[in-house]
Structure 1
Amino acid sequence: MLNLTAALAPVLCLLGLLMLMDSFKLVPMRFVMQALAAGAAAALAALALHLQMIDSLDVPIPIVTRLTAPVVEELLKLAFVIYAVRCRRVGFPVDAGIVGFAVGTGFALVENTYYLLALESPGLLLWLVRGFGAAILHGTATAIAAIIAQELAARRHGQGFSVFVPGALAAIAIHGIYNQFVFPPVVATLLLLIVLPPLLLGIFTRSERATREWMSAGLDLDVELLKLVLSDNFGQTRLGAYLTELRSRFPGPVVADMFCLMRLELELGIRAKGTLMARDAGLDVPMDDEVHAALAEVRYLEKAIGPTGMMALTPLQVSSERDAWHKFLLSEQRRSSGAA
């Protein structure tokens, strides 16, 4: 029992600490569980591949451990991070880091459980090294990769899979250095604990401040833009003039749908930021039926406008790439409210 605790508890405790530090509660528990499951699946896939290389291809274990494992394992863990960023399930470094660390945690739990079952009566020191060393490494490396990917995606407005390359290389490098066994395991574990967790916690603290600043400024901007959109003078603005110009290229009903979509995006953005501010203050704001209806209407309008119309609407998209995740936030809040 003591070995099990030493092997599994440290990484779970750090994941819990990161979630407690997220005062905005950006990541729903359901999504954390999905990330844990994805990490566990990645560990099973990596284990099967490594055993195949060792048993069937006669690849030496040191080659697998030092060269193959860092690349294969980090890329497998990155798969769920790619999904989360590309599908806009994360919007800030804070929630990207939590999701990445959860993936690494799921990976570490399966990996350490396998070794617990496979190794015969190892000493407690081994499980302390694996629990505080390898497990924390898996979580932190994937968290750093996720944070870098989210930051680049927000700055470059997505731009394909290139945003994931720097983070993947960083995670592989961190993992690869640890697996070279330059220092004795205990020393390597102590060095890892001195460097990686404080680095991750520092990034979280900075990201929390940036998130709070973005929310305040973004909420004010959304409110002012919504007032402008609903005013009688909207047609005299550049946004209104562009929308009028689109009437020569698209049918009138489609242009009307574009206007409605722009208004709804602003309203949902205001609602999402207001929800986050309430969470930061310790309040839980339930979602009402109006939010559910608005989310459904956005999906309908996007389909009605079509791909070409959505491309033409790009100059009118007043929300940023980072704002785009707010529909996921509101839909998850609506789901949890309904469950309650």
Structure 2
Amino acid sequence: MSVLTLVVGFVPVLLFLAALILMDSYKLVTRRSVALALGAGVLAAGISLLLNPLLLAGGIDPTLLRRYWGPLLEEIVKAIYVVYLIRSAHVGFLVDAAILGFAVGTGFAVVENVYYASVMRDLELGLWLVRGLGTAVMHGSTTAIVAILSKSQADRRDTRSLAVVFPGLPLAFAVHSLYNHLILNPLVSTALLLIAMPLLVGFVFERSGRATRDWLRVSLDTDVELLDSIESGRVEGTPAGAYLASLSRLPGPVVADMLCYLRIHLELSLRAKGILIARAAGLDLPIDEDARADLREMRFLERSIGKTGKMAMMPFLRSSSRDLWQLYMLDR
């Protein structure tokens, strides 16, 4: 198989991934996070290529493996990294979930296509366009679907449970299995994916952009108001001050550390939101050493106040996935 034929199966899907990254006006994903997602996809493909022969050796019919067991196994393995990203609050919005999910699928497809290229050397350009490009788009699309729906579930239910992969994982399996059934002409299947994916991405970007703007507006006002009351010494007359004063069961130094922790948390939250707003305006503000120093101090204070103190502060520390993600954004 010629280099040109092999490239045809890779370049379009990589260009689509690059286009997704360029469309991200808030620059929610970094090159490092995309590279890690691609690497996770490569690892997932390696695991699948090792397990598929074992399933065949175990007596599973090759047709059933191609249509059902293979798609199920591959979608589960690809979804593992997506679940990790959501549970660890490494994605904050649907956009970065979609981009990193598509990157995982792209990494998977690259390895799978290299494998098939090595065993099917006599494929012509037209057939490889279907085999390489079609499969690459399918893998990227199905993992993006899992990421989008899982992130949507996590935001709606305010949870990071493993259950967030439903209904994304079953839907991805259904699309993958249907593709492998070859019910439609492979060219038609590839064309449908190439049409449907941009439509899905357009919807996700529009919805995520609106959610980002709403989140910035609401949380920015709340953070500014609370931080101003702390820095001006008027915190005693606020609900936060009254609540902290009610924690008489805790030692005085612990309450002081809790107030300091809250102040740093608010400052970092505002700094993260400012960076996002600047990026949307076309400005790339670097994350300076002061922010990293504040993060280190916040971790020290977190150990100082302990789990009990942190739980006592939960009414004032928003702990949604987006609020946790903004701190991760400053630390990466």
Could you tell me the TM-score, scaled by structure 1's length?
0.92
CA shift digits 1:2-49 (9 cap, x unpaired): 211211112101100100000111111111101100000000111111
| Alignment pair present for 1:284 and 2:298 | no
Conserved 8 A contact 1:9-1:131: no
The residue type equivalent to 1:302 in the other structure is E
Give the CA deviation at 1:159.
Answer: 4.4
Give the CA deviation at 1:256.
Answer: 1.4
| Alignment pair present for 1:217 and 2:218 | yes
Conserved 8 A contact 1:266-1:319: no
CA shift digits 1:279-332 (9 cap, x unpaired): 111112122221111010111111222222222221121464311111211112
Match of 2:17 in 1: 15
Alignment of structure 1 residues 85-234 onto 2, 5 Å: 85-234=86-235
- Unpaired runs of 5+ in structure 1? 333-340
Match of 1:48 in 2: 50
Query: Is the deviation greater in 2-11 or in 30-39?
Result: 2-11
CA shift digits 1:159-194 (9 cap, x unpaired): 421122222122112212222221121122122222
CA shift digits 1:224-254 (9 cap, x unpaired): 2211233333212222111111222x22222
Q: Aligned equivalents of 2:144 and 2:82: distance in 1?
A: 9
Match of 2:248 in 1: 247
Conserved 8 A contact 1:11-1:136: yes
Match of 1:338 in 2: none
Match of 2:37 in 1: 35
Match of 1:336 in 2: none
Conserved 8 A contact 1:132-1:193: no
Q: Aligned equivalents of 1:155 and 1:255: distance in 2?
A: 33
Q: Aligned equivalents of 1:330 and 1:228: distance in 2?
A: 24
SS at structure 1 position matched to 2:226: helix
Query: Is the deviation greater in 206-215 or in 283-292?
Result: 206-215
Q: Aligned equivalents of 1:270 and 1:119: distance in 2?
A: 55
SS at structure 2 position matched to 1:232: coil
The residue type equivalent to 1:27 in the other structure is V
Q: Aligned equivalents of 1:20 and 1:162: distance in 2?
A: 31
Conserved 8 A contact 2:86-2:160: no
Give the CA deviation at 1:126.
Answer: 2.1
SS at structure 2 position matched to 1:89: coil
Match of 1:335 in 2: none
Distance 1:208 1:314, change over 3 A: same
Alignment of structure 1 residues 76-87 onto 2, 5 Å: 76-87=77-88
Conserved 8 A contact 2:87-2:160: no
Match of 1:72 in 2: 73
Distance 1:233 1:319, change over 3 A: farther
SS at structure 1 position matched to 2:233: coil
- Unpaired runs of 5+ in structure 2? none
Could you tell me the TM-score, scaled by structure 2's length?
0.94
SS at structure 2 position matched to 1:316: coil
The residue type equivalent to 1:204 in the other structure is F
Q: Aligned equivalents of 1:256 and 1:41: distance in 2?
A: 47
Conserved 8 A contact 2:8-2:132: yes
Q: Aligned equivalents of 1:287 and 1:192: distance in 2?
A: 38
CA shift digits 1:69-91 (9 cap, x unpaired): 12111110111111111111111
Query: Is the deviation greater in 292-301 or in 233-242?
Result: 233-242
